[in-house]
Chains A and B, each alone.
Chain A
Amino acid sequence: MNKLFSVSDVNLSYGDKHVLKDINIDLYKNKVTAFIGPSGCGKSTFLRCFNRMNDLIDSCKIDGTILMENKDIYNKKYDVVDLRTNVGMVFQKPNPFMMSIYENVAYGLKCSGIKDKKVLKQRVINALKQAALYDEVSTRLNDSALSLSGGQQQRLCIARAIAMKPEVILMDEPTSALDPIATAKIEELIEELKKDFTIIIVTHSMHQASRISDYTAFFLNGEIVEYDITKNIFQNPKDIRCENYITGRFG
């Protein structure tokens, strides 16, 4: 199995607040890894380490190393823009830009300097197809992205991310703002996407984690308590705290 990320001794704090404690974990290529754990335990914070979105928070300080294909992504020479084109992100709330459907997907490509109209169009269409949205929007690519339903908007955000042809897609509770049907669609999509991408997903739904992920990491108070193949975590957890959380007996 191919390691994509290798995280060692990562500690992160916001000001005086120590949020991630001695994190050591390897994440694998073309797998879906789920981060689970109670609210406030640092899942989103850890997820944001992989595309350095924490850099935007002034009070945030991070130690340790995160290697992506053996390169330290926190090295000064590593260009954040390159990192973020390579590591896409989908947020909790669908957040399309106030642009047309087409422009939303083309946005990242244009920012990265692609100008050729034909190339753009092809990449946009491919991304929309890959995100299982194309059939629903093919006749109205120039309509406002905000005219789409919540679930469609979230798939648009996924399309926007995969248009960049990233290696990794980070997803922070991508279905928590959606209804069950839209959620099922996205889950289906994730199964499809893991052929081409490595996916790291934060979720509060045990059902979702067990259904779509290959690996699961259980977080508690900024530590990874247990990390294993998803099946083991859900059928045979080793740590009692993990078991309690999974079975809903937590707290």
Chain B
Amino acid sequence: MNNLKTTKLNKIIDKVVSNIYLLMTLISASFMLIIIIFILFKGLSPFMSNYQYGVVNFLDFLFGTQYRPDMGIYGVGFIIINTLVSALLALSIAFPISVLTALFVVKIAPQRLSEFMKVVIDLLASIPSIVYGVFAAGIITKFTMTIASMLGVQTYGGTSLLSVVILLAIMIFPTITSISISSISSVSEDLQHASLALGATKVQTNFKVVLLSAKQGIFAGAILGVGRAFGEATAVSMVAGNKMFGPTFGLFNTTRTLTSTMIAGLKETSGLDYDIRFSIGLVLLIIILITNFGLNFIKNKVGKTHEKN
């Protein structure tokens, strides 16, 4: 009797709890939806014929090589390229360093050093952007200036693509490393033993089996990292130099990214110059989506890993 009652009660509790989960999901999903609709609406409005502050041509916006709000020219084509260049360069520097660091922390470093490094990396990941920004403006720009003057190149006080890339690489390093660490730690011992028992060296085992098996997590880290690189505004705008035209490929030239454009003078503006930032936000979202697809594609190519299917 009693038993029957408790099962009934448990069933009710189950139902209530699962409904609460559903509700939570719906709430967060609808927040997402509201945000997206709002950005879409705001972001597309400057291209509509009934826009009150003067219509912007969509193609000029998307492919333009000048961004001169003072002259009413809003072209973000070069900014898109700059953003891709800086984020992908940062990723290509940070990714190998992060993965090797993670491998070192998990597989090679003595226990104590490894624990210490994990703490440091988690700390680094939680430092607010503005702190990185101040550091970049104070130190990285100096470093860039030194390098530039050694090469006999002029910079604008060190604000340059190189500074942005270094800054972003430093900022995304802890993210990728930290996720790679947890993913490498969870590679089963069995696989490593199997590899060693076949006469593979530790190095071969680490690179061919451990990294391959941790691939899923490592690429998740890369995607989060590049997301952070694309999305970073505060710190980047302190060292980018906000060039008005482009694109910028020279490492010592000033540059401009989508986020630094969105944030520049945001508080003192209105009308088209304000609304256009939503359009830029839309562009940024789309770029991040495409990059994620790209990284996923690369992931499936690398080592042609075979997941359970």
User: Known: A95-B190, A95-B191, A98-B212. Is A108-B199 also a contact (CB below 8 A)?
Assistant: yes
Known: A95-B190, A107-B208. A146 touches B197 (CB 8 A): no
Decide: B306 and A81 in contact? CB cutoff 8 A.
Answer: no
* A98 lies within 8 A of B307 (CB): yes
A102 to chain B, nearest CB (A): 11
Asked if A32 is an interface residue, CB under 8 A from chain B, the answer is no
Cβ contact within 8 Å between A111 and B201: yes
Chain B residues with a Cβ closer than 8 Å to the other chain, count = 25
The reply to whether the CB of A97 lies closer than 8 angstroms to some CB of chain B is yes
CB distance from B66 to the nearest CB of A (A): 49
A97's partner among B194, B199, B201, B309 (CB-CB below 8 A) is B194
- Segment touching B, from A14-22, A83-91, A242-250: A83-91
- One of A88, A97, A164 near B213 (C-beta < 8 A): A97
Is B295's CB within 8 Å of the partner chain A?
no
Q: Is A161 interfacial (CB 8 A cutoff)?
A: yes
Given contacts A84-B196, A144-B306, A145-B306, contact A99 B201 (CB under 8 A): no
Chain A 72-115 interface mask (CB, 8 Å, partner B; 1/0): 00000000011011001101010101111000000110011000
A111 and B208 in contact, given A93-B190, A97-B195 (Cβ under 8 angstroms): yes
Q: With A53-B197, A56-B196, A84-B198 given, is the CB distance from A99 to B309 under 8 Å? A: no
Any B CB within 8 A of the CB of A157? yes
Choose from A53, A98, A99, A100 the contact partner of B193 (Cβ within 8 Å). Answer: A53
Among A144, A145, A160, the residue within 8 A (CB) of B198 is A160
Q: Is the C-beta of B119 less than 8 angstroms from some C-beta in chain A?
A: no
From residue B82, how far is it (CB to closest CB) to chain A in Å?
38
Find B209's partner among A97, A147, A161 (CB 8 Å cutoff): A97
Besides A51-B197, A81-B200, A99-B306, 19 more A-B contacts (Cβ < 8 Å) are A53-B196, A53-B197, A84-B196, A88-B198, A89-B197, A91-B193, A91-B197, A93-B190, A95-B193, A97-B194, A97-B213, A98-B307, A99-B305, A107-B200, A111-B204, A144-B307, A144-B308, A147-B306, A164-B199
